[in-house]
Amino acid sequence: MVGLRRAKTVLLVLVVVISNTIANGAPLARGPKESAPAAPVGATAGAVGGPAAAPTGAAGSAGSLDVKAAGAKGDGTTDDTAAFAAVWKTACEAAGPSTMTVPKGDYLVNEIEFLGPCKGPVTFEMHGNMKAPATVAGSKPNCGWIDFTNLADFTLNGNGAIFDGQGSIAWKANDCAKTGKCNSLPINIRFTGLTNSKIIGITSTNSKLFHMNVLNCKNVTLENIGIDAPPESLNTDGIHIGRSIGVNLLGAKIKTGDDCVSIGDGTENLIVENVECGPGHGIAVGSLGRYPNEQPVRGVTVRKCIIKNTSNGVRVKTWPGSPPGIASNIIFEDITMDNVSTPVLIDQEYCPYADCKAGVPSKVKLSDVTFKNIKGTSATKIAVKLICSVGTPCTNVALADINLVHNGAEGPAVGACANMKPVLTGQMIPPACTEIAKPGP
């Protein structure tokens, strides 16, 4: 009887202790396979007195970071560079996904590099515009105004945002047409070393030099891109792509003073689709062969594009006297031309400056180049012009379903060739190679 009373007393004490423990908020012990519940969002490990917001730069997702909250004015006159740099640093150092937000406004920003690698995926979300200083300051060769560098899983959502290079003063100071040295002005936007990334809905206007450079990138998609500059803006290539694998340019409206799209050495598995080009110099592979040790160009497809009022259509251009090089598996198809000079062009004697080795054959080997379903109007009598290297002949250049007409006083359109004989299929207007092609315009 006494033993029974003692057992009841012990049991009562245990019940009281457990009840008080639970009431005071202390957890019960767990077995080795039972994990503790996740801390509330914003809680800091070891915090006393309940959850606390994570400090700036703390490990974990940074959420959305606003440049105006960091001091940016967005009034178009205040220098907001420091605020952009500070917010990027926080976003890039966050271990989880983060978003850098640019609210509505016009942000004056000097040359800035958004540099990785970052600890987690970063989204650059724009609702405002960025503006460069108008003055022409000395820049390092091949520098950029806005640089995105060494980033993986990066997204730039432009939502129609404008990157205004304010280049009109620079165009007047640009003498590269005379000197051939054109790299002393900043490129508007450079994407360098990006992997598995997307660039969506941005417009570059009035760049001092090239509008966009895509270099050393892998698996990058550009969608809904705008380029806007007048014809007198020298060396303002719209989008230049080089030394990159798996780039997709899907939808762009480009008006500029140079090539709408230029494709440089080392480009592989590129798709250019649904581009509206003009005014400008057309869509070009090259120029290739100006420098030693250029990388091969392989697997380029340009399709479903409209080219209007340009000085060239679709073309491949290589320098005479070049080092050895390779460009192969290039397709231009389903292209509409509207008042375009020389809509179809291979030029292996490309010589825009006086310092090229005219008369010395190009050593860039062109092979498996196809022009298919090219239709519309030519502003010049020579609508198809194919000049291959006499020293390194082109192989398997094909024309298929060409219908290009010229309505000028010189008479109907003609096709001209030199050092090559194309493979012909389907409709051929004008007839191919009825004249001997000569270098120059």
Nearest to 168 by CA among 138, 140, 142, 134: 134
Nearest to 92 by CA among 55, 57, 54, 43: 57
Residue holding tokens 């230029």? 262
The residues near 344 (Cβ < 8 Å, ≥ 6 apart) are 313, 314, 315, 332, 371, 374, 383, 384, 385, 386, 399, 402, 404
How far apart (Å, rounded) are the C-alpha atoms in residues 314 and 250? 17
Residue 120: CB atoms within 10 A of its CB come to 18
CB 193 within 8 A of CB 216: yes
Q: How far apart are the first and last CA of the chain?
A: 118
Distance (Å, whole) CA 221 – CA 155: 10
Residues annotated as catalytic (active site), given as ranges: 281
Per-residue H/E/C for 5-20: HHHHHHHHHHHHHHHH
Q: What is the DSSP secondary structure assignment for residue 40, as one 8-state letter?
A: P
The token duo for 143 is 């520098």
CA distance to 9, 156, 192, 199, per residue, from 189 (Å): 79, 12, 10, 11
Number of helices and strands in the chain (H, E): 4, 27
Instruction: Burial-class residue 212 by CB neighbours within 10 Å (0-12, 13-18, 19+).
Output: buried
E-strand spans in 103-244? 106-108, 112-115, 122-126, 129-131, 144-152, 155-164, 187-205, 212-215, 218-228, 239-242
| Residue 431 CB burial class (10 angstroms; 0-12, 13-18, ≥19) | middle
Q: CA–CA separation, 83 vs 67, rounded Å?
A: 6
Q: Is 83 helix (H, G, I), strand (E, B) or coil?
A: helix
